[in-house]
Structure 1
């Protein structure tokens, strides 16, 4: 493990003293993207050993990590991720560092999702390139009724205002807290479905953005929970992709671009569309590998309740200029702002894994010059199955079962994940699908009880 310069450690320790930090959270994620942490007290002492040697922990109890016979792993804090947690009370002021996971032998742990993304980003950095990504994670604010069932917090729709929209106070408080966590919040608004909200933040390189998505989800849940406790109400935030039947679900559209220095590799002002060949090839790679990618970007059985026609979620493997019915949309901005928007991911995904597989698929497209075909500029939801078939447009997986079989059959995406993560991920998906398929739901009872 490489040594961190002493002056860098001293600076962060001074900042912690300035912020009156009492506790340190050493944070990481499991294979599902669930936040885990170890909390240690801070007494102002030298932190060199923690930052350079890390802290041992038992990895056998973490989903997708290691067995009990090889349980010792090490958390090594990334010193650049220091942040005071604004929702924690002053008397127990707490900061967090996002950690990389290492083996006890001093090697990066191959099952660490963050480490996997760092490896892919280093590969393109060695070629002088940077992958920027800007996700838009949507969420619902729900109230829990007297029977314990979730209900939308309000009945507002897209861009509505008070009194229909009951979320302005939530979003205002969330925005202020996110800004305290160094987020650059660009906009916040009510989304399409009742109780659904979005807070958009500025995109950066993929590692910082993946860290930000994890922090965003954790912060929003904690802040709304604190507000609910103060108001003595039982409302909470959910990132479940489709919590309610008959309305739009929550997506996490991902805006993406590749840069080489200051040059946006997706931009070509001399082309008819303003898009470079690299942009087209990148989309070609995404479209080719979309079925396998979907297992990662839409990782739970509920994800596929969202990926249905009619609710603004993509179903068809096509791209279009400004066409929101296609899997990939190309926003109107050009020049340095040129980007593509991959629309299928949802906020249940592990962003480290999702960003890795999208990047590797796009790079495969560039390297092998994969043609994405012509753009589709019609509303795909209005076409018949015969018209879709005549255009040669294929569909995304319609269930987790289909998606994980597509992942099994895609060597490039399996290789992007590596043998450890791909094996552990598939094991978890097999189990999840088996648990789901044997359940008997209220819908079935109502429909078939009289047979």
Structure 2
């Protein structure tokens, strides 16, 4: 089953579909808010998908197009083919292909496609001679389901950081998730129980930024699906339970140039190069605006508070985990990297990586000065000492973060006019809805008191 119009990668996918008896293909893409969408087609339509694309109604997708501009086309990326590690009740085998979205009116890539936004950021880095690598650490909670199969906030276990069974009851669940990820081509480095009850982390190896963003979407889907097989609900909500640690997505970044790590310098402080320091300076400079994209929900800011290991202060260091950016220890020059600790797993990974890359490159291109590292625990600083050190804080809520985004031309340009406008519009609406809502906390506190 081949065609002269097919690439060798696409022909390889068609062969694999036949070898593995795939019944259906899920053509996957992501909306502006980071929700994974998919169109399912019979496997027999795979060649058509590669040669002609598959059309869909873009007006039904958040932030895409208006109803009079609805026809859009999915073009699968053959390098993203993977058989899904679960079957439905009829034992049907499905596989996944991640797609780029095209605008049928212009026959060009759709500017509102988050994957294109990241590709543009990568192209900018490539033009400067850099390859961008990324490695996120998405944390998640496992909760019990009620008798109707609905999610609760009852944690699946009472374990803590690095605990073992019997406190950590989720070892088997994490094991099944890891097997599923490995079946899809992931190389898993480690998994463990996190600090909070019911909270977990599974780390996979770094890759180029686009492949890593694709992997984040896949990771979230696999975790949810396999948790459901155990009658559990997995959530990447940043702070599902008050007054305990929330879930972050610490993101490790590095630039390579001519096969060498551009962030490494044997003679530099922490073995960091000047390129790395300028990259750090760029992220620190644009941190308030980046926060709107990397922490995009009202709930995100319940995590970004002092006392729960999440960063609040715009500073950097080596071992200091109270700083926004950390330089982790590295055994080899190739492993030198920086870790941005503010993102959470509710973010759209394509947009989050894009704004990180553009911010860092802005620091390099404009030769920004990197401030001195802060080795003390910033949580212990009072306001006067923070001012002395020149340490600002991240936005306290989604409304403030969106205001910062609207003021930052570099980060808005990183998103592009379409995504920037639609993202700001959606997040302003979300924050306004939050402001006019009345929470259960308010009912409990004020209803009988006043």
> Is 1:10 the counterpart of 2:7 in the alignment?
no
Distance in 2 between the 1:82 and 1:30 partners?
A: 20
Is residue 347 of structure 1 aligned with residue 350 of structure 2?
no
How far does residue 4 in structure 1 lie from its aligned partner after superposition? Answer: 5.8
Please list, as runs of the form range in 1=range in 2, the aligned pairs for 1:243-258 lying within 5 A after superposition.
Answer: 243-258=240-255
User: For residues 54 and 313 of structure 1, what CA distance do their matches in structure 2 show?
Assistant: 43
1:431 counterpart = 2:434: no
> Is residue 125 of structure 1 aligned with residue 126 of structure 2?
yes
Structure 2 counterpart of 1:294: 291
The alpha-carbon distance between structure 1 residues 326 and 107, as it changes in their structure 2 partners (threshold 3 A), is same
**Structure 2 counterparts to residues 70-89 of structure 1, below 5 A:** 70-89=69-88
The answer to whether structure 1 residue 274 and structure 2 residue 277 are counterparts is no
What's the secondary structure of 2:230's corresponding residue? helix
Which of residues 201, 206, 215 is equivalent to 2:204? 201
Aligned counterpart, 2:38: 37
C-alpha distance after superposition, 1:8-46 (max 9, x if no partner):
332211110111001011110100110111111123x7x
Distance 1:240 1:371 in 2: 35
Match of 2:326 in 1: 329
Asked whether the 8 Å contact 2:122–2:131 carries over to 1, the reply is yes
Other structure's SS at 1:257 match: strand
Is the CA contact 1:240–1:348 (under 8 Å) kept in the aligned structure 2?
Answer: yes
CA spacing shift, 1:425–1:320, aligned 2, 3 Å: same
- Over 3 Å counting, the alpha-carbon distance change for 1:227 and 1:149 in structure 2 is closer
> Do the aligned partners of 1:6 and 1:48 also contact (CA within 8 Å) in 2?
no
Equivalent position of 2:418 in the other structure = 420
Aligned to 1:231: none
- Aligned position for 2:237: 240
Structure 1 residue 148: Cα displacement: 6.7
Instruction: Note the 1:381-400 alignment, pairs <5 A.
Output: 381-400=379-398
TM-score relative to the length of structure 1: 0.95
Structure 2: 5+ residue runs without aligned partners? none
Deviation digits for residues 167-211 of structure 1 (CA, Å, limit 9, x no counterpart): 101111111111001000000000000000000000100000000
Matches within 5 A, 1:171-182: 171-182=174-185
TM-score normalised by L of structure 2: 0.95
Shift of 1:96: 1.0
Cα-to-partner distance string for 1:340-372 (whole Å, 9 max, x where unaligned): 000000000000000000000000001111112
Task: Give 1:270 shift.
Answer: 1.7
Contact 1:141/1:196, CA 8 A, preserved across alignment: yes
Distance, in Å, in 2 between the alignment partners of 1:225 and 1:148 is 10
Is contact 2:275-2:364 (8 Å) kept? yes
Residue 269 of structure 2: SS of its match in structure 1? coil
Match of 1:308 among 305, 308, 313: 305
Q: Give the superposed CA RMSD.
A: 1.5
Q: How far has the Cα of 1:151 moved from its partner?
A: 1.4
- Taking the aligned partners of 1:119 and 1:215, their CA distance within structure 2 comes to 21
Cα drift, residue 267 of structure 1:
0.5
Q: Which residue of 2 aligns with 1:378?
A: 376
- Distance in structure 2 (CA, Å) of the matches to 1:447 and 1:49: 60
Q: Deviations over 1:293-341 (max 9, x none)?
A: 0000000000000000010000000000121000000011151110000
1:139, 1:347 → 2: CA distance? Answer: 8
CA 194–65 in structure 1, closer or farther in 2 if over 3 Å, else same: same
- Offset, 1:122: 1.8
Paired residues, number: 441
Residue in structure 1 matching 2:336, options 326, 332, 338 = 338
CA drift at 1:149: 3.9
